[in-house]
Amino acid sequence: MLLLVVLALLGARSSPRLLTSQQDDRCAVTQVVDGDTFRCGDGRKIRLIGVDTPEKAQGEAGQLARRALLRYLPPGRVVRLERDVQATDRYGRVLAFVWTGATMVNEAMVREGWAVLYTVPPDVKYAERFRRAQKEARAGRAGLWASGGFDCLPRDYRRNRCLTRS
């Protein structure tokens, strides 16, 4: 009987810790790979949920998107990772909404014109928020919208659907 009480108390004490760690996951940035992917000091590779940026092979557009993410996530910056439904993508990257202070980096990248909306259900928590940000960025010709950087969307580029590949 005493064992059951001890286990119950331990379970009650550990559950909040588990919930807190899932809701308040922190990461120290070590490297920005491209405009929507970065690495943490613990070795995890993080993919921003709900957005897509030009591929590195898309030339200047890919470089500009990477530099934009680097401004938000310089090496050493500690960020908060917020999860949605799926933990990882098919490449094993951790899927997350990334926060630096009160700024959601995913949304900021779209709002500033460095990323486009890329919804992959079931991870759609902020899809409408990103849709509004993209509409504003496109109308205001922000970031890559000003230079034709999204004439070939990243998903189309990956599928060889663009007339020319950089």
- Residues designated as active site: 47, 55, 93
The token pair at 82 is: 């917020």
Give the residue among 77, 56, 81 at the shortest CA–CA distance from 66.
Answer: 56
Contacts of 33 (CB under 8 A, 6+ apart): 39, 45, 66
Give CA–CA dist 23/112, Å, rounded: 27
Count Cβ neighbours within 10 Å for each residue of 56-74 and write b for 16 or more, e otherwise: eebeebbebbbebbbebbe
Other beta carbons less than 10 A from residue 17's beta carbon = 9
Q: Is the peptide bond before 121 cis (omega within 30 degrees of 0)?
A: no
